[in-house]
Amino acid sequence: MKRIMIVMGTRPEAVKLCPLVRELRSRGKHEILVLSTGQHRAMLDSALEAFSVKPDFDMDVMQTGQTLSEVTAKIVRRTDELLGAEKPDLVLVQGDTTTAFAAGLAAFHRQIPVGHVEAGLRTYQMRSPFPEEFHRQAISLFADYHFSPTVTAKKNLIREGKQASRVFVTGNTVVDALRITLTEKKPRLPWSFPEGHRVIVFTAHRRESWGAPIRGMLRALRRIVETHPNVTAVFPVHHNPQVRAAAREILTGVPRVRMIEPPEIVSFHHLLARADLILTDSGGIQEEASALGVPTLVMRYSSERVEGLRTGVLKLVGGSEEGIFSTADRLLSEGSEEYLTMKKPSSIYGKGRASAAIADVLDRVI
């Protein structure tokens, strides 16, 4: 029996790692330790609670207004201490956050093998998304096992010189999460919308969008609902103070825009499944939309979710007010053919068995 430490700190990491925690614990072959860095607080806790995962350790690092370097330094130092005390045989990190990078780096320094879940996503533009593209590339440098969601992601890693025998195509665990939330769990929020209304789900939080870009996105949403009287928009406002201030300023009092606290993952997945159109700069939501087949405008200039762009369910519209508004306006027009061609569910990110595939690999390699 080996000791595996699974590290998470933000909402998307909890959503994507809880299914793996469940899978590994149900197999009972290894001792599973869950470390929360607490990079997020309310948003992380609500995702953990939805999957009934209770961290064994919580560093509680979140402070309002902290810089990237402060969070990185705190997580590296505290993870190092914990690794010294707990001595796991493997550390698993997910994705591209400060938590994943800093905890992975601490494990590397202690020469503990690192497994990277969702490995090989790339835009190859170091500041887009920022700082996530750097984190992904850096984690790939020190990770020992790379769990790629798709063949495209694996090819990126092979091109960068990784040994093929260390890169495993598993699907994305976010589809496992969707399977659990939509089939096993009941949403807390009873979503209801006026008869005949089309539902837009809007989210924005990326660091490179702070300031003028996010304000343009919010103005685009305002124009969309003002132009289409039979549209209701739901906007769960990310806890980041930068996002909150801009949202309050531009959308307060706008009819048919429901600005709400971020719902827990079960309710949020049920909302996505009901949505007619999604406007987002989120990474995870691009994958969920692809699985569900909900037409999605990606409010960014580049995306590492190239598979979803290829199938057509995602459209890259950039961050300008005009680009976002005009594309949404076109798609919402009566009988839009373009809209119908986007509305296709697909299994490009897997069929909800990624956690099992990762657990199978771990049984072989550690």
List interacting residues with ligand UD1 (CB under 6 A): 10-12, 39-44, 62, 64, 66, 68, 71, 96-98, 131-132, 205, 207, 239-241
Which residues have a catalytic role annotated? Answer: 96, 118, 132, 205, 207, 238
The residue whose two tokens read 């939509």 is 182
In the list ligand UD1, ligand UDP, none, the entry touching 285 (Cβ below 5 to 8 angstroms by class) is ligand UDP
- The answer, yes or no, to whether the previous bond of 187 is cis (omega within 30 of 0) is no
Contacts to ligand UDP from residues 155-214, by CB under 6 A? 174, 203, 205
Q: Return d(Cα 259, Cα 261) in angstroms, integer.
A: 7
| Total residue count of the chain as it appears in this document | 366
Q: How far is the CB of 96 from ligand UD1 (least distance, A)?
A: 6
284 is an interface residue for ligand UDP by CB under 6 A:
yes
Quick one: which of 285, 292, 297, 348 contacts ligand UDP (CB under 6 A)? 285
Contacts to ligand UDP from residues 58-97, by CB under 6 A? none
Q: Which residues contact 165 (CB under 8 A, 6 or more apart)?
A: none
The residue range among 19-27, 281-289, 290-298, 336-344 that interacts with ligand UDP, by the rule CB under 6 A, is: 281-289
290 is an interface residue for ligand UDP by CB under 6 A:
no
Q: Return d(Cα 245, Cα 47) in angstroms, integer.
A: 24
Closest Cα partner for 279 from 244, 316, 312?
316
Where do the H-state alpha helices sit in the chain? 11-27, 42-50, 68-86, 98-109, 132-142, 151-159, 173-183, 212-227, 241-251, 265-274, 283-292, 306-311, 321-331, 337-342, 354-365
CB closer to ligand UDP out of 149 and 236: 236
In the list ligand UD1, ligand UDP, none, the entry touching 239 (Cβ below 5 to 8 angstroms by class) is ligand UD1
Binding residues for ligand UDP, per CB under 6 A? 11-12, 15, 174, 203, 205, 236, 262-263, 265, 268-269, 282-285, 288
